[in-house]
């Protein structure tokens, strides 16, 4: 009987758990370690943060799902991994305290998502800083309270400045920030107070629509149409001030200090700001058989798990090397350890990094969205099942081979809402296969805006929660 442990039950870890439960369930021991007893459907936190969705609707209990699949749930924080063949266990501090729990494994999947590095930017964040966040359910609820207070003041006649974007020059997750700023715009329009707000989108992307994936281009009416034109056009239509190309250095009450791509320093005043922090990986203690620190074999300086990628390539070389992106997400030293979702260390950025004349680096990190995380979770789970059943892996999917769809809602109404839908193939441009098309297949890659996207986004909430609850037909709903 094989023992499989998964740390983290987000999009990557929970998807992996469902596939492993399905393939191996009763015959093997699968344990999921998660800080919370509940799954959080992150994409809908954008709607929570404008006060349009009850946060309870974005959560469900993991235990009943895992019971169906014969999976054990340990609720707590994994603190130590002992990876040597003589050991192979994880130490977990249970939620609410108590004696640390030891979880033994033959195979380990690390899917711990992002560690939110608010401390990486002085003055950033909701706890000790001056900005709000939508990156956890609690943060989204907090942001909604502050946003609705602001709305009350605008209703009373006051004018306010709202800034949404990224709070670190190396941040990712611009899609969520774009979706939030669009939802705020729509909400203020619906409330009849849009003219009382100046809305600014401030981010580290070199231009609107970059999204940390070097933007997207498609053929439209025989011409090349870029995501910079698409998203830039939406900003113009919505009256959102575009302050892309800025790396935030510090936030003080009511003021964001930044440097732009040309090295010019400046500040943006705000009454309400939601800025996404830098994402880092979860740092465990990785302990060898003699008590030594073996973390160098398992994680990079940012705490992301090293896998079968080619690390250390210059951007210009990485851009031409699709095989630098991992295909099975397996650690090279400890072959029974895999990483999925945000937790794996990418070989480098997708968007071109930029160094300003003063030496300040502005470089959006590569996104590993819910869809990408789910796909990687599935690939890893099926390979672990393969290894258990037949001793060899048969699944692989690099981000240079992966399709991704991003639907950014602009208001949640099914009557007058809208959404920007971007489908890209592949996620990481492959300059060898598509040298004349910016690295992507311009037939599959697609951008559009309309009401149908709003319906799709709402349906995704329901369909994915159905899938993630492991209900009938869950395997047929793609990640
Ligand atoms: C507001 C917002 C909106 C978004 N919208 C979209 C969208 O529309 N579409 C899309 O595709 N993507 C979207 N994303 C991105 C998507 O949510 C993430 O890419 C996805 O959640 C990453 O999945 P993950 O499994 O890697 O990490 P997570 O979902 O963050 O899961 C990690 C899990 O690990 C647990 N964990 C961490 N450390 C430990 C530990 N030491 N011990 C035990 N458990 C631990 C955490 O508690 C968590 O449950 C959005 C993100 C945000 C913030």
Q: Would 229 be classed as within a structural domain?
A: no
Q: Is the pLDDT of residue 97 over 70?
A: yes
pLDDT at residue 107, rounded to an integer: 98
pLDDT bracket for residue 451 (50, 70, 90): confident
pLDDT score at 419? 82
Return the residue whose CA atom lies nearest to atom 30 of ligand 1.
Answer: 113
- Residue 39 pLDDT grade (very low, low, confident, very high; cuts 50, 70, 90): very high
- Count of domains for the chain: 1
Q: Which atom belonging to ligand 1 lies closest to the Cα atom of 13?
A: 25
In short, whether 77's Cβ falls inside 6 Å of ligand 1 is yes
Q: Indicate the pLDDT class of residue 479, thresholds 50, 70 and 90.
A: confident
Mark out the alpha helices in 370-422 (DSSP H runs): 370-390
Q: What average pLDDT does this structure show over 405-423? A: 79
How big is the chain, counted in residues?
Answer: 479
Q: What is the pLDDT of residues 312-351, one digit of tens each?
A: 999 999 999 999 999 999 999 999 999 999 999 999 999 9
Q: Chain-wide mean pLDDT for the chain?
A: 95
If pLDDT is split at 50, 70 and 90, which confidence band does 243 have? very high
What is the mean pLDDT of the segment spanning 278-305? 96
Please indicate, yes or no, if residue 31 is contained in any of the structural domains: yes
DSSP letters spanning 321-379: -GGGS-SS-B-SSSTTEEE-GGGB--SS-SSPPEE-TTS-EE-PPPP--HHHHHHHHHH
Structure-token pair, residue 231: 């998203």
Has residue 334 been placed in a domain?
yes
pLDDT at residue 57 tops 90: yes
Is the model's pLDDT at 212 over the cut of 80?
yes
pLDDT at residue 473, rounded to an integer = 87
Q: Is 156 within a domain?
A: no
What does the pLDDT read at residue 449? Answer: 81
Establish if 43 belongs to a structural domain: yes
Provide the pLDDT confidence category of residue 420 given band limits of 50, 70 and 90.
Answer: confident
CB 419 within 8 A of CB 457: yes
User: Is 275 a pocket residue for ligand 1 (Cβ < 6 Å)?
Assistant: no
Nearest CA to ligand 1 atom 27: 113
Query: What is the mean predicted confidence (pLDDT) over 354-381?
Result: 96
455 pLDDT higher than 80: no
284 Cα nearest atom in ligand 1? 41
Alpha carbon distance, N-terminus to C-terminus of the chain: 28
Mean pLDDT, to the nearest integer, of 421-446? 93
Query: Does the pLDDT at position 410 exceed 90?
Result: no
Dist. CA 226–CA 246, nearest whole Å: 20
Q: How confident is the model at residue 463 (pLDDT cuts 50, 70, 90)?
A: confident
Tens digit of each residue's pLDDT (9 = 90 or more) over 244-271 = 999 999 999 999 999 999 999 999 999 9
User: Where would I find the H helices in 79-173?
Assistant: 137-155
The preferred substitution site among 6, 9, 11, 105 for testing ligand 1, maximizing ligand atoms within 8 Å of CB, is 11
- How much distance in Å is there from the Cα of 1 to the middle of ligand 1? 30
**Sorting pLDDT into bands at 50, 70 and 90, what band is 412?**
low
Closest residue CA from atom 4 of ligand 1: 43
* CATH code of residue 95: 3.50.50.60
Residue nearest (by alpha carbon) to ligand 1 atom 35: 8
* Mean pLDDT within 468-473: 89
Q: Could you tell me what percent of the chain has a pLDDT over 70?
A: 99
Distance 113 CA to ligand 1 centre (A): 5
Average pLDDT estimate for 155-172: 98
Q: Say if 60 falls within a structural domain.
A: yes
Please work out whether the CB of residue 282 comes within 6 Å of at least one atom of ligand 1.
yes
Residue 309 has pLDDT above 90, yes or no: yes
Cα(469)–Cα(464) distance, integer angstroms? 8
**Whether the predicted pLDDT of 217 surpasses 70:** yes
Candidates 18, 81, 111, 112: which one to mutate for ligand 1, based on the most atoms within 8 Å of Cβ? 112
Would 222 be classed as within a structural domain?
no
Q: Does the Cβ of 384 fall within 6 Å of ligand 1?
A: no
Lowest-confidence range among 169-173, 174-178, 333-337, 439-443? 439-443
Q: Residue 315 sits in which domain range?
A: 3-116+279-357+365-390
Per-residue pLDDT band at 158 (split at 50, 70, 90): very high
Please check whether residue 445 lies inside any domain of the structure. no
Q: Tell how strand 71-82 and strand 59-61 pair up.
A: unpaired
When mean pLDDT is compared across 24-33, 359-368, 370-379, the lowest value belongs to 24-33
Helix or strand run (H / E) with residue 235: helix 227-238
Between these two residues, 430 and 462, which has the higher pLDDT value? 430
Average pLDDT over residues 217-228: 89
Chain centroid to Cα 194, Å, comes to 29
């Amino acid at each position: 009987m094989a023992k499989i442990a998964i740390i983290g039950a987000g999009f990557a870890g929970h998807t992996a758990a469902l596939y492993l439960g399905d393939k191996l369930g009763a015959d093997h021991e699968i344990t999921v370690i998660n800080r919370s007893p509940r799954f959080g459907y992150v994409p809908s936190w954008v709607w929570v943060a404008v006060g349009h969705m009850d946060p309870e609707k974005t959560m469900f209990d993991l235990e009943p799902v895992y019971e169906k699949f014969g999976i054990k749930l340990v609720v707590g924080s994994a603190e130590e991994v002992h990876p040597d063949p003589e050991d192979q266990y994880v130490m977990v501090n249970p939620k609410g305290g108590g004696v640390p729990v030891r979880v033994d494994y033959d195979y380990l999947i690390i899917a711990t998502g992002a560690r939110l590095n608010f401390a990486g930017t002085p003055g950033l964040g909701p706890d000790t800083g001056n900005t709000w966040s939508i990156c956890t359910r609690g943060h989204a609820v907090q942001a909604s309270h502050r946003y609705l207070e602001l709305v009350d003041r605008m209703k009373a006649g006051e004018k306010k400045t709202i800034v949404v974007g990224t709070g670190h020059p190396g941040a990712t997750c611009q899609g969520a920030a774009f979706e939030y700023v669009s939802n705020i715009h729509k909400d203020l329009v619906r409330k009849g107070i849009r003219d009382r707000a100046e809305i600014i989108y401030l981010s580290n992307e070199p231009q609107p629509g970059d999204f940390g994936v070097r933007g997207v281009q498609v053929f439209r009416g025989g011409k090349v149409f870029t995501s910079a034109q698409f998203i830039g056009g939406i900003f113009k239509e919505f009256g959102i001030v575009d302050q892309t190309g800025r790396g935030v250095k510090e936030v003080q009450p009511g003021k964001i200090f930044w440097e732009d791509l040309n090295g010019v320093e400046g500040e943006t005043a705000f009454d309400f700001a939601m800025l996404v922090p830098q994402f880092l990986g979860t740092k465990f203690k990785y302990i060898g058989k003699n008590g030594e620190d073996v973390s160098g074999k398992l994680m990079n300086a940012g705490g992301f798990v090293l896998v079968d990628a080619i690390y250390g390539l210059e951007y210009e070389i990485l851009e031409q090397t699709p095989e630098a992106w991992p295909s099975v997400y397996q650690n090279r030293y400890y072959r029974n350890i895999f990483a999925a979702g945000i937790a794996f260390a990418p070989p480098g950025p997708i968007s071109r990094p930029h160094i300003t004349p003063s030496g300040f680096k502005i470089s959006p990190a590569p996104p590993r969205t819910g869809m990408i995380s789910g796909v990687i979770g599935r690939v890893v789970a099926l390979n672990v099942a393969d290894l258990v059943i037949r001793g060899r892996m048969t699944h692989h999917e690099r981000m240079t081979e992966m399709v991704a769809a991003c639907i950014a809602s602009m208001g949640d109404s099914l009557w007058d809402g809208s959404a920007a839908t971007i489908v890209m193939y592949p996620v990481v441009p492959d300059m060898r296969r598509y040298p004349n098309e910016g690295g992507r297949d311009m037939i599959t890659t697609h951008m559009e805006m309309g009401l149908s996207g709003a319906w799709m986004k709402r349906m995704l909430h329901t369909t994915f929660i159905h899938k993630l609850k492991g209900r009938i037909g869950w395997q047929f709903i793609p990640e």
